[in-house]
Amino acid sequence: MRILLILAATAAVTGAACKKVISVDLNNAAPQLVIEGEVANVRGPFPVRISKSVPFSASNVYPPVTNADVYITDSTNGIVDHLSQPNSDSGVYLARGTVGVAGHTYVLSVTVDGKQYRAVSTMPKAVFLDSVTFALNFDFNNKQEINAVVNFQDPRGLGNYYQFTEKVNGRNIPNVFVFEDRLSDGRYIEQPLFNDSAYLQKNDTLLLTMNCVDKNIYNYFFTLANVTGNNNFQTATPANPSTNITGGALGYFSAHTTQKAEIVVY
């Protein structure tokens, strides 16, 4: 937020701050394994995507990892699901035998080139999304923007974590939206989802997803928000988000309840 304030202050005092694209000589780290997996309380199959990181200067094409051995275990009822990769060069593995149930704990286990990675996530209880409304807000440049507002009752008792995604006219909005009830326990929540760069326009079709996630996943997305290519103002000391995957992979494994709402922006 500081840089927004300071740019606004500078602009007010001196006219305008200047920005330009520069070239920075960055190191190329060895490719890192990235695992993204989910289980939800809807009908499967649930995808687990495995890919690798690339150098900063490369194109945004991330090589899939196709030789992984992937299992999801429902440790509450003991059901083990061995995931298959229907499209053998996609790096997308599907869990067809897993059923998402709130309160169950799921274990993801991935083996790639003899190395094992593991993650545990517990699906929280669902919180009902009442409605999605729209509001006009000003950003720090004083431009008016339309924001979706999510309306729901946070249940009494700390420890509810929410994650939202937006799809506008079929296109994913690359923005991280998370909310926790640390300062809002038991409140009726009317929370605008502030967009960083992709804005909603009147008459767009918005598909909004609300996930109730566990604490680790909230922390993951909260810290991920600082290091995405869509975040204009990174923190002073950015770091890799705190993942729930052990063994040295990037990414996350989330068991969550999910609800969707489709509406035309007004």
Partner 1 sequence: MAQTRYTANGTVRDKASGEVLIGASISIQEIPRSSILSNAYGFYSISAPAGQYHLLVSFSGYQTDTIDLALTKNLEVPVELVTAGNSLTAVVVSATKKNENVTRPLMGVQKLTTNEIKNVPVLFGEKDVLKTIQLLPGIQFAGDGNAGFFVRGGGADQNLILLDEATVYNPSHLLGFFSTFNSDAIKDITVFKGGMPAEYGGRLSSVVDIKMNDGNNKDYHFGGGIGLISTRLSAEGPIVKDRGSFSISGRRTYADLFLKLSPDSSVSDNSLYFYDLNVKANYKLGERDRVYLSGYFGRDYLSFGNTFGIDYGNATGTARWNHVFSSRLFSNTSLIYSKYSYKIRINSNNNNIGLTSNIKDLDLKEDLQYYIDAGNKVNFGFSAIHHAIAPGILSASATSSFNSLNLQSHYSLENAVYISHEWSPSERVHLDYGLRVSSFLALGPGAFYTYDANGNPKDSTYYSSGRVAKSYTNPEPRASLSLQLSEASSIKIAYNRNTQVLHLLSNSTSANPTDLWIPSSNNVKPGIADQESIGFYKNADNNRYEFSIEAYYKSLQNQIDYKNGAQLIANTNVESQLLFGKGRAYGLELFAKKKVGRLTGWISYTLSRTELQIDGINQDKWYPAKQDRTHDIAIVGIYPAGPKWTLSATWVYYTGNAVTFPSGKYQVDNQTAFYYTERNGYRMPAYHRMDVAATLQGKKRKKWESSWTFSIYNLYGRENAYSIVFQNDPGDPTKTQALQYALFRFVPAVTYNFKF
How many residues can be counted in the chain?
Answer: 266
Q: Which residues contact 248 (CB under 8 A, 6 or more apart)?
A: 33, 115, 117
List the one residue from 8, 99, 126, 263 that touches partner 1 (CB under 8 A).
8
Asked if residue 61 binds partner 1 (CB under 8 A), the reply is yes
Note whether 264 binds partner 1 by CB under 8 A: no
CA distances from 46 to 90, 96, 182, 207 (A): 15, 7, 30, 19
Minimum separation from the CB atom of position 161 to partner 1 (A): 13
Q: What separation in angstroms does the CA of 227 have from each of 38, 90, 254, 259?
A: 21, 25, 19, 27
For 221, the token pair is 């997305």
Stretch 15-34 residues interacting with partner 1 (CB under 8 A):
17-24, 26-29, 31-32, 34
Q: Which of residues 215-244 bind partner 1 (CB under 8 A)?
A: 219, 221-224, 226-242
Cis status of the peptide bond prior to 45, with omega within 30 of 0: yes
- Binder among 39, 40, 51, 109 for partner 1 (CB under 8 A): 51
Between residue 153 and residue 212, which ones bind partner 1 under the rule CB under 8 A? 165, 172, 174-176, 182-192, 197
Q: Which of residues 251, 253, 257, 258 is near partner 1 by CB under 8 A?
A: 251
One of 44, 47, 54, 97 touching partner 1 (CB under 8 A): 54
Which of residues 109 and 147 has its CB atom nearest to partner 1 in the complex?
147
| Nearest-approach distance from CB 190 to partner 1, in angstroms | 5
Closest listed residue to residue 35, CA positions, set 207, 250, 229, 227: 250
User: To the nearest whole angstrom, how small is the minimum distance from the Cβ of residue 218 to partner 1?
Assistant: 10
- The single residue among 117, 164, 252, 253 that binds partner 1, judged by CB under 8 A, is 252
Q: Scanning residues 102 to 161, which ones bind partner 1 (CB under 8 A)?
A: 135, 137-138, 140, 142-144, 149
Q: Which residues pair with 111 in a beta bridge?
A: 69, 116
- Residue in 40, 1, 227, 266 with CA at minimum distance from that of residue 149: 266
